[in-house]
Amino acid sequence: MLEIALKGSKKYWVWVIILLAAMAVGAGAYIDQFTHGLTITGMSRDVSWGFYIANFTYLVGVAAGGVMVAIPCYLHDYKKFHRITVLGEFLAIAALVMCLLFIVVDLGQPIRLFNVLLHPTPHSMLFWDMCVLNGYLFLNIIIGWNVLESERNQVPHPKWVTPLIYISIPFAIGIHTVTAYLYCGLPGREYWLSAILAPRFLASAFAAGPACLILLCYIVKKVSKFDPGWEAMQTLTKIICYALTTNVFFFLCEVFKAYYSNIPGDKSHFNYLFFGINGHNGMVPWMWTSIICMFIGIFLLIVPALRNNKTLLPFTCIIVIIGTWIDKSLGMISGGFVPSLLDHVTEYSPTGEELVVTLGVYATGLLVLTILYKLATTVKEEVRG
Amino acid sequence: MKKSRRNFLKAAGVTALSIGAAPAIKAVSAAESHTAPHAVEMKRKDALKAKRWGMVIDARKLNDEIADKVVKACRYAHNIPDFHHEPDKKKYPDLKPVKFNQEIKWIWEEEFEHAFPDKETDFLAEKFRGLSFLVTCNHCKHPPCVQACPTQATFKRPDGIVMMDYHRCIGCRFCMAACPFGSRSFNFRDPRPFIEKFNPDYPTRTRGVVEKCDFCAERLAKGELPACVEASEGVITVGDLENPDSEIRKLIDSNFTIKRKQELGTDPSVYYIM
Amino acid sequence: MSKNAILTGLVIFILAVLLPFWVNLGGTAAAPKPEISARAKAAGRCILDKYDMRADHMQLLGKWRNSVVRHSNRLYKTADGKVFTMSLSTGKNSCLGCHEGKEKFCDKCHNYANVAPYCWECHTTPKEINQ
């Protein structure tokens, strides 16, 4: 099936070459980081995780968001999603590839990566995160590939795939729950130490994942003859609407808890993010942008006329993605680490080199996505044609 | 065709089995040879021992001069880099610019309201405000860093010391997020250019690993007290918390002591006499 | 058409795979003779026999580092009763304490075998550091 990816229009190849170039630039920056250490990043003793882990967290959400297509399709036999389910699975694969790459580029000693397997440590959440992320990745590769190949041969997918599909659903919830547990089990980090962190992560994921999927469906419709179907997208928008509202609701619950209880440690992180502390206000514009984006997103998705507007929908999705991305990546990292455990304020912002490495990782993910979507759409064109 | 394939698989299976069996046979034969005299790894006879190591810092006797001496002694004992040190340009020609917020420290001075952020009030006694405290790894009884580490590179010894195995650390920095006392530092870069004077009795670190106070495990093993204790002119005392007759238990019994962030339940082994 | 392409590809592949042989065609380098320091000579036997040390010193060091860091052992008593400090670089009774000057001893074979163990990034004699 992979041979399909080798035949494409001129535009396809230009896009692939752009991605390869971006990957090469990213790799160059990474080599510099590899030889000189993480000193080239904006991270510090007080803010010991940065842009890499921030994007990792967000992309785990995008990967988990794919389950919002899988559940209606496989559990409720919702016909309109049958055409796009494989797109959701392939999006998850690309997102997971990026997640794993972000973890690797964040390590101080990447050559010792396999120490995690050599000395398995069940009391570490990172160990479990590795298990579920890799598990979900392999499940999606196996399921996506077999379902698509069966579609190409116009036969039902093999029976042994069905149990894997059912297993993949709790796995999707699992990857984001365990990722939240990385943060919310740490004593002393008030911004993360919250029982609703995992639900909040899932809510934001179920908004961000489908929003990415709708955007991709628009692109697919534009560059190929395959039409993912307007009705499927209308259902997706409703899912995004509920999920986004829930995410904002959870966020407001956190705000209420911190400010009504008036506990200094709990308040300090919100103060830093939304108002700044002693002139340290690097995050303030970002956080307000995030809140405004999420509220505008909810408005645009609740009003039926706006929600069903085909021209407006991609912009709504972009707004949702921006809002949730700031909230969950930059906000989650900076909010957790600033002010520090000893009540010092050390701000964090990524360096240019850090951004270039990040770009390289995103380019790799997009290349994987492009190839997989090329396969999916071509097979679907063949079958329909 | 089918038959030959089956034979091939059989042969392959037997080969795989024998390859698998070889180490087992080797192990059995090795076990037999254990009756002959063999090498042993052991501790030194003069090593200092405790059931649970603990530390008492007497804040009444502490002043900036002593604190400075303690920090310097630790810095030298463990080859901790000082980024204010101007590196030798000839030996290290292309160094990245220094970032001071990526510093490394094992024991350092911290003002009272930062060492004990939960005890800060509007009317904090004048004698405490701005007062320098020494803070370091608390060698907690329930260390969150150990729980977080995915490779057991940081672990708790039976005698209560929370150790770092620099050989195993992958540099994920999960322990730094987990430690509620900010006691851990990450080697964002090669530390060697920034070490002014090397202590030949302790290794340096490589870039990309986390480090922290190791309670001078290497000195205890030789029967010496930790470097900070020696430099502290009686301000810092270490000993066995589980032994009611030990010096530090007597200090704790006869003075009012506090510990940092006790409400988190990590149970620090470092006590402060107020 | 494709036959030629395949053949060219194959030739390039074989040339690339055998690169180590081409590079070393110009004759072989003589095996190095590591210098045994006076201290080591006086001591006679190392921790294991000469050939065992040559083959297994890295395994021994790997065992030592776990024993020292994780089990707080510091001494190693060999089968014939000699006691060593389990350390690569610290103290007179360590590896480098006896084999003074790593460039005359360790590096000779390491360079010859083209291995670059990263032990030295942290463990080395102070002499090397101050050079």
Domain count, chain C: 1
Beta pairing, strands B270-273 & B53-58: parallel
Q: Over 50: is that where the pLDDT of A347 sits? A: yes
Res C129: pLDDT:
56
Tell me if chain A has a CB within 8 Å of the CB of B93. no
Q: Over 70: is that where the pLDDT of A333 sits? A: yes
Chain B, 209 to 228: residues with Cβ < 8 Å from chain A are 209-210
How many residue pairs bridge chain B and chain C with CB atoms within 8 Å of each other?
A: 71
- Distance CA(A176)–CA(A200), nearest Å, equals 10
Contacts of B188 in chain A (CB under 8 A): 37-39, 41, 43
Q: What is the mean pLDDT of residues A299-326?
A: 95
Res B164: pLDDT:
96
Boundaries of every domain in chain A = 2-384
- Distance CA(C94)–CA(B61), nearest Å, equals 40
Percent of chain A with pLDDT over 90: 89
Tell me if chain B has a CB within 8 Å of the CB of A46. yes
Residue C4 CB coordination number (10 Å): 8
In a domain, C17, yes or no: no
Those residues whose C-beta lies under 8 Å from the C-beta of residue C113, and which sit 6 or more positions away, are none
What's the distance, Cα to Cα, between the start and end of chain B in Å? 87
**Are A377 and A226 within 8 A, CB to CB?**
yes
Res A26: pLDDT:
97
Average the pLDDT over each of A190-199, A218-227, C94-103 and give the range with the smallest value.
Answer: C94-103
Q: Over 60: is that where the pLDDT of A237 sits? A: yes
Q: How far is A322 from chain B (nearest CA, A)?
A: 26
Residue of chain C whose alpha carbon sits nearest to that of B202: C90
Tell me if chain B has a CB within 8 Å of the CB of A107. yes
Res C81: pLDDT:
86
Please state the separation of Cα C85 from the chain's center in Å.
19
- Distance CA(A129)–CA(A140), nearest Å, equals 16
pLDDT, tens digit, 9 for 90 and up, residues A109-155:
999 999 999 999 999 999 999 999 999 999 999 999 999 999 999 99
Tell me if chain B has a CB within 8 Å of the CB of A282. no
Those residues whose C-beta lies under 8 Å from the C-beta of residue A255, and which sit 6 or more positions away, are A270
Is the bond leading into A339 cis (omega within 30 degrees of zero)?
yes
Which of the two residues, B19 and A55, has the higher pLDDT score?
A55
Give the closest residue to A207 by CA, choosing from A270, A249, A165. A249
Contacts of B266 in chain A (CB under 8 A): 187
Phi and psi torsions of B109, nearest 5°: -85, 140
Q: Report CB contact under 8 Å: A119, B151.
A: yes
Residue B173 CB coordination number (10 Å): 24
Nearest CB to B157 within list C72, C74, C76: C72
Amino acid at A325: W
Contacts of B203 in chain C (CB under 8 A): 89-90, 122-123
Q: Report CB contact under 8 Å: B153, A115.
A: yes
Q: Report CB contact under 8 Å: B209, A130.
A: no
Preferred mutation among A52, A192, A341, A353 to probe B, highest tally of B CBs within 10 A: A341
Q: Report CB contact under 8 Å: B44, C130.
A: no
Q: From first to last of its 274 residues, what are the pLDDT tens digits of chain B?
A: 445 666 666 666 666 665 656 555 555 555 444 455 688 898 889 999 999 999 999 999 999 999 999 999 999 999 999 999 999 888 888 899 999 999 999 999 998 888 988 776 666 666 677 778 899 999 999 999 999 999 999 999 999 999 999 999 999 999 999 999 999 999 999 999 999 988 988 999 999 999 999 999 999 999 999 999 999 999 999 999 999 999 999 999 999 999 999 999 999 999 999 8
Q: Please give the mean pLDDT across all residues of chain A.
A: 94
In a domain, C21, yes or no: no
Domain housing C68:
32-130
Those residues whose C-beta lies under 8 Å from the C-beta of residue B143, and which sit 6 or more positions away, are B154, B156, B162, B179, B266
Categorize the per-residue pLDDT at C131 as very low, low, confident or very high, splitting at 50, 70 and 90. very low
Q: Report CB contact under 8 Å: C69, B201.
A: no
Q: Report CB contact under 8 Å: C90, B201.
A: yes
Residue of chain C whose alpha carbon sits nearest to that of B201: C90
The continuous run of DSSP H or E covering B159 comes out as none
Q: What is the mean pLDDT of residues A172-199?
A: 95
Cβ-count burial B83-106 (b if 16+ within 10 Å, e if not): beeebeeeeeeeeeebbebbbbbb
User: Which CATH superfamily is A2-384 part of?
Assistant: Formate dehydrogenase/DMSO reductase domain (1.20.1630.10)
Res C127: pLDDT:
55
Nearest CB to B101 within list A44, A183, A341: A44
Q: Report CB contact under 8 Å: C126, B198.
A: yes
Res A377: pLDDT:
92
Give the closest residue to A96 by CA, choosing from A63, A70, A118. A63
Chain A, 252 to 271: residues with Cβ < 8 Å from chain B are 265
Q: What DSSP line would sit under B209-260, residue for residue?
A: -EE---TTHHHHTTT---HHHHHTTTSEEEEETT-TTSHHHHHHHHS-EE-T
Tell me if chain C has a CB within 8 Å of the CB of B192. yes
Categorize the per-residue pLDDT at A373 as very low, low, confident or very high, splitting at 50, 70 and 90. very high
pLDDT, tens digit, 9 for 90 and up, residues B184-207:
999 999 999 999 988 988 999 999
In order of A183, A190, A266, the CA distances from A193 in angstroms are: 7, 5, 9
Q: Report CB contact under 8 Å: B206, C121.
A: yes
Which of the two residues, B57 and C101, has the higher pLDDT score?
B57
Long-range contact set of residues C35-40: C-beta below 8 Å, sequence gap at least 24: C35/C101, C35/C104, C35/C105, C35/C108, C36/C99, C36/C105, C37/C98, C37/C99, C37/C100, C37/C101, C37/C104, C37/C105, C39/C97, C39/C98, C39/C99, C39/C100, C40/C98, C40/C99
Residue of chain C whose alpha carbon sits nearest to that of B79: C122
Res C112: pLDDT:
87
Res C103: pLDDT:
86
Tell me if chain B has a CB within 8 Å of the CB of C59. no
Highest mean pLDDT among A94-108, C74-88, C112-126: A94-108
Q: Which two tokens stand for residue A64?
A: 């988990």
Preferred mutation among A109, A134, A277 to probe B, highest tally of B CBs within 10 A: A109
Is residue B54 helix, strand or coil?
A: strand
In a domain, C6, yes or no: no
Average the pLDDT over each of A26-40, A220-234, B127-141 and give the range with the smallest value.
Answer: B127-141
Q: Over 90: is that where the pLDDT of C124 sits? A: no
